[in-house]
Amino acid sequence: AMRERVPEQHRADYDELLSDARQIYRMRDERGLFSDITGVGLARGLLLIVGRALAQRGALSMPHLLPFASQDEIAALITGDAERAVSSNELLRRVVLYERTSGANAPRSLGSGDPPPPPPEGLPAHDLRSLRGMMTGVGHLFTGQERCTSLGVVRGTCASRGVVQGTARVITEPAMFSSICNGDILVTHSTSAAFNSIVPMVTGIVTDFGGVLSHAAILARENAIPAVVGCMVAVEQIKTGMLVRVDGDNGEVTILQQPPQHEYADHHLLKSCSSLSS
């Protein structure tokens, strides 16, 4: 029905662009959840099984260290190659480094001096359009506008319209989801599919990373929740318990009031009691 509304002289272009769109559409957010992340989980489970066997044999001090070894180091531990095997102390050092590192302080790129990618103009027209479409989407996914922050105001990219005021709840990992209360303002580095379960509870979303096509931005618009993304310093400057106003129309988050210490403590005591009773 849509194709019939396109003027006949433009239908060939329409068909070609529709074909491009269908090709790109397969590159969806769910692919990472149902393929990449699932595969990593299965691989980690197998490594832990092997790690337990190595720990029983005395080759490792703890099974959970094995996922931090390289492929060659794992092979050396399994075969008993003492010269190439990695020590448990070295793996423990890597564990500590991993736990102290987050997406917020990770380097933007690894290595240096790499040559630029080859020019895309050599691609067939169909593939070139697809590539440019995907790169445009990725640009809006990870980047936002220039942002500046003044005292009491954090600025970012307008992601979902509306203005809301509420209590900030800083969440840096899914293990903290139990602290979310109805009506909270979610403040985080970025969101993933794991956050879908708590979004119905929050009234606003603020992220440090991402653009207008990021997961947080799309989720906020789908749920009609005001959101500001790509703030860079929101998690650093906004603390749990602060009263904040999220202005999704102008891309601003204003800190209105510091958290009342006794109310903040009572909230966490209540959460702890609820966890124990359940």
pLDDT digits (tens, 9 = 90+) for 159-207: 999 999 999 999 988 889 999 999 999 999 999 888 999 999 999 999 9
Question: 141 pLDDT band (50/70/90 cuts)?
Answer: low
Kindly state whether residue 82 falls inside one of the protein's structural domains: yes
Question: 66 pLDDT band (50/70/90 cuts)?
Answer: very high
pLDDT digits (tens, 9 = 90+) for 12-27: 999 988 888 787 666 6
Using alpha carbons, list the distances in angstroms from residue 177 to 116, 186, 226.
Answer: 41, 10, 20
Which CATH number covers residue 233? 3.50.30.10
CB contact at 8 A, 139 and 160: no
* Domain endpoint, select from 63, 85, 100: 100
* Domain endpoint, select from 100, 129, 144: 100
Kindly state whether residue 23 falls inside one of the protein's structural domains: no
Using alpha carbons, list the distances in angstroms from residue 100 to 97, 209, 231, 240.
Answer: 5, 19, 22, 21
What is the pLDDT, as a whole number, of residue 150?
64
The token pair at 210 is: 């991402």
Cα 18-24-27 angle, rounded to 5 deg? 150
User: What is the C-alpha separation between 38 and 32, in angstroms, rounded?
Assistant: 8
Domain that holds residue 222: 153-277
Together in a domain, 201 and 270: yes
What is the pLDDT, as a whole number, of residue 221?
95
Cα 230-234-235 angle, rounded to 5 deg? 120
Kindly state whether residue 195 falls inside one of the protein's structural domains: yes
Kindly state whether residue 7 falls inside one of the protein's structural domains: no
What is the pLDDT, as a whole number, of residue 261?
61
Together in a domain, 80 and 193: no
Together in a domain, 230 and 163: yes
Together in a domain, 96 and 160: no
What is the distance, to the nearest Å, from the Cα of residue 174 to the centroid of all Cα atoms in its chain? 11
pLDDT digits (tens, 9 = 90+) for 95-119: 998 888 776 666 666 666 666 777 8
Number of other residues whose CB lies within 10 A of the CB of residue 128: 14
Mean pLDDT of the region 37-63: 92
More confidently predicted of 218 and 21: 218
Kindly state whether residue 234 falls inside one of the protein's structural domains: yes
Could you give phi then psi for residue 110, rounded to 5 degrees? -110, 140
* pTM confidence score: 0.62
Q: Residues of the chain with pLDDT > 70: what percent?
A: 79
Number of compact structural domains in the chain: 2
Q: What is the 3-state secondary structure (H, E, C) of 146-181?
A: CCCCECCEEECEEEECCEEEEEEEECCCHHHHHHCC
* Domain endpoint, select from 56, 75, 100: 100
Q: Is the pLDDT of residue 277 over 50?
A: no
What is the pLDDT, as a whole number, of residue 234?
92
Together in a domain, 233 and 163: yes
What is the pLDDT, as a whole number, of residue 278?
44
Strand order in the sheet with 252-257: 153-155, 252-257, 243-247, 163-170, 185-188, 204-207, 227-229, 157-160
Kindly state whether residue 107 falls inside one of the protein's structural domains: no
- pLDDT, mean over the chain: 84
Q: Residues of the chain with pLDDT > 90: what percent?
A: 53
Q: Is the pLDDT of residue 272 over 90?
A: no
Contacts of residue 206, defined as CB under 8 A and 6 or more positions apart, other chains included, come to 154, 156, 168, 185, 186, 187, 188, 227, 228, 229, 231, 234, 238, 244, 246, 253
Kindly state whether residue 203 falls inside one of the protein's structural domains: yes
